[in-house]
Structure 1
Amino acid sequence: MSDNTLNTQSLTSIQEDEIDIKRLIFLVLGKWYWLAICLFLGLAGAYFYVKYTPKKFQVDTSLLVTNEQKGLDVQNMFMESMMGGTNKVMLQNEIEFLHSYTLTNQAINNLNWQTFWQQKNVFVWNGIYLNDPYMLNKAEGALNPEGVSIFITPLSSTQFRVEADDELLIENQPVKIKFNEVADYNKPFKNEYFGFTLHPKENPENLIGKEYKFSFIDKNKLTLSYLKKVNANFSKDSEVIKLSLESTEPLRDIHYLNELVRVYLEQKLELKTQTQKRSLDFIDSQLSGISSDLNKAENTFTEFRSRNQIIDLSSQGSLIMEQLKEIEKEKSQLQMQLEYFKSLQRYLGNIQSADQLIAPSVVGITDASLNSLVIKLSDLYSRRKIMEFSARQNNPTLILMNQEIEQITVQLREILVNLVQNTEVSVKALNDRYNRINKQLNNMPEQEQQLINIQRQYDLTNEIYTFLLQRRAELEISLAAAVVDIHIIDPARYERLVPINKSTLLILLIGAFLGLLIPALIILIQDFFDNSIQLQEDVEKLTPLSILGNVFHSKNNSELVVIKDPAAAITESYRTIRTNLQYKFTSPNQKIIGLHSVQPSEGKTFTSINLASILAMNDKKTVLIGADMRKPRLHRIFNLNNKSGLSTYLTGQNEINEIIRPSQIEHLSVITSGPIPPNPAELLEREAFKKLLDTLKSQFDYIIIDNAPVSRVTDGLITSKSSELNLFVLRYKVSKKDQLKFINEIAGKGGMNNPALIINDVKISRLSYGYSYSYKHAYGKGYSD
């Protein structure tokens, strides 16, 4: 489609939203110096990051957690189906325990850390755990608030500077702490808030020139910090829990993890043996009472025999005593069991009494189902206690555990009802036997009756005491043999540290990438919001009008650059435009070229002068008309008098031959604009202007018309109807993209003959010369209109 047949639809259907990757690349490369500077800064930043960032390590420890009591009962099967496996639930419970505030705080308290020391390394502060240069003693009665950074600067072998500038809450009120003082080593330093003494661990002179800071440890904040830092996880098909954390002070965190595991195992053993310990306490309480009863019975028995000179009982008396003793022994055991059953009934369902549960075997109860249920209930209470450190009430595992406790409680209540009834029946039967045998005792001599009662009481108390001692010994053996079903696979240790800092090469690559990315993004964002024309692609995307040529940027300050510097690149660009003119004229009689711009400062007059000059240099008779009668400039450039010109001719004051003036350039004549008239547009619409052009066509090979900007006045639109080629001059970085829409509208109305474009002010560089020569290049600074 030729320019002469361009219609409004084609001129207004240009797509602006397509992304031209090649355009963006050349736009960014056009500011290569930005990229170079930012690349250097990115690499420098990456280097300093590598040099001064503390090294990070992964500290870890692993535990094997077995479940020796999980069994295959209904509840375990139910939990396994609901929670994806009993093992998973158990390990999750242990992780919750390990992540509890209570356990973490206990570990920190056991380590007894008092201060946190750091040393400055150029820009950053590095922790120096166990390598702090001073031994610090707190002053009694000093406040010494926790978490406040105190800076220590050694000044000499005897003095140091101590300063602080921080804010903290004291009794819920913000308090500003700021001081800067000089203090002495080995002497107390004291002010309103702090009181301590520093004792150098080495020669104080070796510390001069270094900077340190410390703070008194806030154990609550440190506990919360470790709760966030420590990660606990386990694999799907194993029973191993791995505790790990990222550390810049690995030795400190090695000590912490190992202490945490130690406290964890200690607490687990405490929870596992609490039933045996409660049973042992129960037996000890019983023994303390029975021991005094036994001593009293023994003394009574000895005194009675000595006082009454009785050595042995008669055979009948011995038989009766043995029977009564056997009945009382059995009755005593039944009473103890009955009391246990009733106590257990009271404790069931009462979580506050859960810690008072003791094993039935302690009181000689051999019922297997009862023993199993009580032990299981005690274990569930212990597990729930662990979970309640961190789990919420709506935790699925906790809900299932409560359901299991409720089920066992119901079963125990049913069993206990029957056991209480059976035991009471047995006690009643023993009482009946006791009464029958006791009647036989009444028929014996009084002294023998008394001896039998005393000896029977002594033997009974002695047997109960022996029974309790035996149970106590069994419990002590059980406690001594108790171990938790958790084993440390690998404790945290220095040899197992894993460096986790990114490689130096990777960080340098990231620095280089960011150093290139950031300026590139800035350039692209700036381009997105910048409405000016940046590259030739901007023009090609927004208009179908052909581009006759590109005018290169020149450092020559002369307006007549093609004359002053004929070998320059800009002169060559005008030669290219001169050559391309033959493709725009369809007949030899077409000679009139109108030069237009949408706004000032786009280089329209500069282009008009140099285009006319380059045509004249090719031995073409050329005339340059200054049709911009509102802001004339041609007379100043060619050093001509402007008292007469186009305006005086159009008003009838001069003839054509009187306004045509030769210039210092061979074959180039100039018609200046003349004095500024009040009505330039009306003058250009007169027949005299058409007559002027017809006359000039018979005398010259080319007629160049330098017009006023079309966005300001209509002068150029009037002359464009007479021009056989209308060239709009656009300037990089100055002309706006919206101007192309305006040009499209003008050209689309059909009143402008043969419209085309010239792009002004193209900057050539080593990077883009080949690209720019084919009209794909960057822009630079140019000339004023």
Structure 2
Amino acid sequence: MNQNAQLTDDTINLRELFFTLLTQWKLIVFCTVFTLVCAAAYLKVAKRTYSVDAKIQIIDNKQNGLAGLNSQLAALGSLAGMSLGSLGNQQSIQTEIEILQSRSILAKTIQDLNLDIQIQPEQSLLNKLLSTDQFQTNYTIDEVQVKNHKAKFSIHQFNIPKQYLDQNLILNFHGQSFNLISEKTGLEVFKGTVNQKTAPRLLKTTWTIDITSPQPLEGRYIVQKQSILTATKAILEDFKATELGKQTGIITINYEGADKDHIIKVLNHILEIYQEQNLATKSAEKEKTLSFLNQQLPELKNNLEQAERKFNAFREAHGTIDIQQESALYLKQSVELETQKVQLEQKQAELAAQYTAQHPMMQEINAQLGVFNKKINELNGALKKLPNTQSQYLQYYRDVQVQTQLYTNLLGTYQSLNLAKAGETGNLRILDYPVEPTRPIKPRKLIILVLSIFVGGFIGILIALIRNMLKTGVRNRDEIEQTVGVKTYAELSEISKKSNASLQSLKTFIPTLTFKLQQRQHNVTLISSIVPDQNQNIIAQHLALYLSQTGKKVLLIDSDLYRGQLDQLFNISTKPGLCEYLRGQVSLEQIVTDTASPNLSLIVRGQSSDEISISSHQTHIAQLIQQVRAQYDYIILSAAPVLTISDSLTLAQFTGFNLCLVQYGQTQLKDIELAKSYFENAGLEIDGLILDQVPAYQTKQYQYQPN
């Protein structure tokens, strides 16, 4: 084999690949149509999924830990080396998202709307494909309403023992009665009556089931009572909350489901509960502060009155005292510190409603109070150094001013909190409520159908390529001749059974065949196959027809006693044939039949049996061939496959030219070599081959001229 041939073998023949796929177009179309039908069936069974959304704005009106204090306290805190902004307790957007997805919100929604009761009709896949019934459920606070073309009923209560939670139960109706069957065990676990609340005790567990219907019921349904955890997970699978954009303060909520009205109802209920809990939390904070002020105000008022009485008594006893500049400064700082300390204690009470004493914000508040107490103690020490009369005057005067300012500030805060509580709206606002969707988001019909076409085509092409790869047999005549050393005289298309045009290369082989027979002074040709070939009978028929068209008398003998079908190809009714002749039941004249084609006669195989074979009747075959050789110009023997039975070798002893069929892509080179060795061991040879079932695009017309 030369270098060019090797290069050709190692490269991909795109033309061959293209025509390989083209010849298997039926397979590709079948796979495409099949996947398209499967996609259509899926679209029929699959539930349409809709999506609704809502938007929530989180308003940042939460003041930080010291924002309610005056600017002087903030400045003092800064001088003390503490960051007041670090006391902020603003909840992040992610915190609000987690609250929305928490069981405190979803579990209440499940309980309010009875979402832990799941029910659907019991249907097979075929029923789902053929059924046009619309099964509807309506979840309300009081009941779960079920409706289809067969029945209409409501489930008001469905409380079952814990061991049956999250399990499928078959609800089977019989008129006015019903029973529950465990799908897991197949046993009946409960029996009840429609329109009658039943709560019997079974095995020390309580069932409370209340089902009502205006009419007798028939049918089977699959019902499941879910635990709170399972029902919550089921909602979370279809529930999604995300921030609309970074630092926008807006949360987008999406909820998916098959029932448009149902998903709108559920999402609205979630928003309602979320608002209620948010408002309750805000009100609780103010309620805690008001409770603190209710305790402090009477005490401050009493302290103020006592301070005023002591101050007035001192003035009456000693008269007016001129306060020096230093005393005035001490007085001012002392009043401010006492006021700020009380305000900080007020803020501490507010934070105590939300956080524990170990929380960083609470610890920072306590640290601030420590700083203020230290400053106050320092001022008190400085005041004690003043002259006794001035010191007492200043002390009484300071007490009156502090108590007056504290009482006034706390009274104002108390009024403000009462007003704020009355108008509390929470720190969120619903921007968009869910609206009814117009189109389902799943399944996407067009995309699924288009993908099914591509997938089907791809699968068809893949199978076609795999089939082609599995054809590991011989593919061209050069490969056979160079490896085995036997000539290939013709290539026949794989559609030869339907078209005579595909056998034209067989017709061009006739001159070569006649020349070979004349050279050997013989007129008998054997045509067999290496392995069983479905086209062998057709090829033998046409070879005999083409020979008879030359004006010569031709006899075609069906010597394949097991698979011969020449009688069917020539439309000849069953009659005695070669098998009967070998048994000695009929004579040669009785088995020879004239065909519709001039100059062509036929001997059919007859009624075969397991005990009859060519090899066991070699003498009779020799006599038959000896007789017909003198009567006909050409005799063609259509024999059994070489590697299947030894009949071909027996017949080859009486022939002048032995021709074997080789199937394109199926017959292996080793099979051809094995068949050749069989002939050589018997002192015979295979004179030529015909490459059969070659793809139409590869068929070549060859004609061997006599040397």
Q: Give 2:661's match in structure 1, choosing from 729, 733, 750.
A: 729
Q: Give 2:180's match in structure 1, choosing from 141, 163, 181.
A: 163
Amino acid at match of 1:63: I
Residue 355 of structure 2: SS of its match in structure 1?
helix
2:230 alignment counterpart: 221
Unpaired stretches in structure 2, ≥5 consecutive residues: 65-90, 129-133, 146-151, 482-487, 567-574, 606-611, 701-707
Q: Give 1:241's match in structure 2, choosing from 248, 251, 259.
A: 251
Describe the superposition over 1:583-639 as per-residue Cα deviations: whole angstroms up to 9, x where unpaired.
Answer: 667779456644232245767578557744653464324577999999999997357
Change (3 A) 1:265 1:546: farther
Change (3 A) 1:529 1:188: farther
Q: Give 2:511's match in structure 1, choosing from 569, 574, 582.
A: 582
Describe the superposition over 1:154-178 as per-residue Cα deviations: whole angstroms up to 9, x where unpaired.
Answer: 655xx232323245xxxxxxx9873
Kept after mapping to 2: 8 A contact 1:720/1:726 = yes
Kept after mapping to 2: 8 A contact 1:550/1:573 = yes
Take 2:420 and 2:197, find their aligned partners in 1: how far apart are those partners? 56
2:690 alignment counterpart: 757
Kept after mapping to 2: 8 A contact 1:338/1:424 = no
Take 1:30 and 1:697, find their aligned partners in 2: how far apart are those partners? 48
Q: Are 1:615 and 2:547 an aligned pair?
A: yes
Please tell me the root mean square deviation across aligned C-alpha atoms, in Å.
6.8
Take 2:119 and 2:532, find their aligned partners in 1: how far apart are those partners? 68
Kept after mapping to 1: 8 A contact 2:154/2:211 = yes
Take 1:54 and 1:773, find their aligned partners in 2: how far apart are those partners? 48
Residue 551 of structure 2: SS of its match in structure 1?
coil
2:355 alignment counterpart: 355
Take 1:541 and 1:29, find their aligned partners in 2: how far apart are those partners? 30
Take 1:238 and 1:667, find their aligned partners in 2: how far apart are those partners? 99
Change (3 A) 1:541 1:125: farther
Kept after mapping to 2: 8 A contact 1:64/1:241 = yes
1:23 alignment counterpart: 20
Structure 1 residue 520: Cα displacement: 4.8
- What TM-score, normalized to structure 2? 0.61
Residue 178 of structure 2: SS of its match in structure 1?
strand
Amino acid at match of 2:177: F
Structure 1 residue 749: Cα displacement: 13
Kept after mapping to 2: 8 A contact 1:663/1:669 = yes
Kept after mapping to 2: 8 A contact 1:14/1:542 = no
2:68 alignment counterpart: none
Structure 1 residue 428: Cα displacement: 1.6
Describe the superposition over 1:214-245 as per-residue Cα deviations: whole angstroms up to 9, x where unpaired.
Answer: 54453222222222211233455782432112
Kept after mapping to 2: 8 A contact 1:56/1:499 = yes
Q: Give 1:429's match in structure 2, choosing from 382, 404, 407.
A: 382
Residue 492 of structure 1: SS of its match in structure 2?
coil
Written as runs of structure 1 = structure 2, the 5 A alignment for 1:635-646 is 637-638=577-578, 641-642=581-582
2:208 alignment counterpart: 195
1:58 alignment counterpart: 51
Written as runs of structure 1 = structure 2, the 5 A alignment for 1:512-551 is 520=460, 524=464, 527=467, 545=488, 547-549=490-492
Structure 1 residue 248: Cα displacement: 1.5
Change (3 A) 1:632 1:166: closer
1:562 alignment counterpart: none
Written as runs of structure 1 = structure 2, the 5 A alignment for 1:105-116 is 105-108=107-110, 115-116=117-118
2:265 alignment counterpart: 255
Q: Are 1:597 and 2:550 an aligned pair?
A: no
Structure 1 residue 334: Cα displacement: 4.5
Change (3 A) 1:522 1:601: same
Q: Give 2:106's match in structure 1, choosing from 99, 104, 107.
A: 104
Take 1:611 and 1:25, find their aligned partners in 2: how far apart are those partners? 29
Structure 1 residue 491: Cα displacement: 1.0
Amino acid at match of 1:755: G
Unpaired stretches in structure 1, ≥5 consecutive residues: 72-88, 168-174, 305-310, 359-373, 382-407, 442-451, 555-568, 645-658, 763-770, 777-785
Kept after mapping to 1: 8 A contact 2:109/2:269 = yes
Take 1:671 and 1:198, find their aligned partners in 2: how far apart are those partners? 84
Structure 1 residue 119: Cα displacement: 6.1
Kept after mapping to 1: 8 A contact 2:169/2:222 = yes
Change (3 A) 1:572 1:663: farther
Amino acid at match of 2:412: Q
Kept after mapping to 1: 8 A contact 2:159/2:207 = no
Structure 1 residue 745: Cα displacement: 7.9
Describe the superposition over 1:1-59 as per-residue Cα deviations: whole angstroms up to 9, x where unpaired.
Answer: xxxx99xx99x969999873443454452798x7799589658736xx44x65443211
Structure 1 residue 60: Cα displacement: 0.7
Structure 1 stretch displaced more, 479-488 or 503-512: 503-512
Take 1:501 and 1:28, find their aligned partners in 2: how far apart are those partners? 33
Written as runs of structure 1 = structure 2, the 5 A alignment for 1:312-711 is 315-317=316-318, 319=320, 334=337, 355=355, 419-433=372-386, 436-437=389-390, 464-477=406-419, 486-494=428-436, 498-502=439-443, 520=460, 524=464, 527=467, 545=488, 547-549=490-492, 577-582=506-511, 589-590=518-519, 593-599=525-531, 608=540, 611-612=543-544, 615-616=547-548, 618-622=550-554, 637-638=577-578, 641-642=581-582, 663-665=592-594, 701-702=633-634, 704=636, 709-711=641-643
- What TM-score, normalized to structure 1? 0.56
Percent identity, aligned pairs only? 17
Aligned residues: 611
2:41 alignment counterpart: 45
Take 1:440 and 1:661, find their aligned partners in 2: how far apart are those partners? 157
Amino acid at match of 2:181: A
2:84 alignment counterpart: none
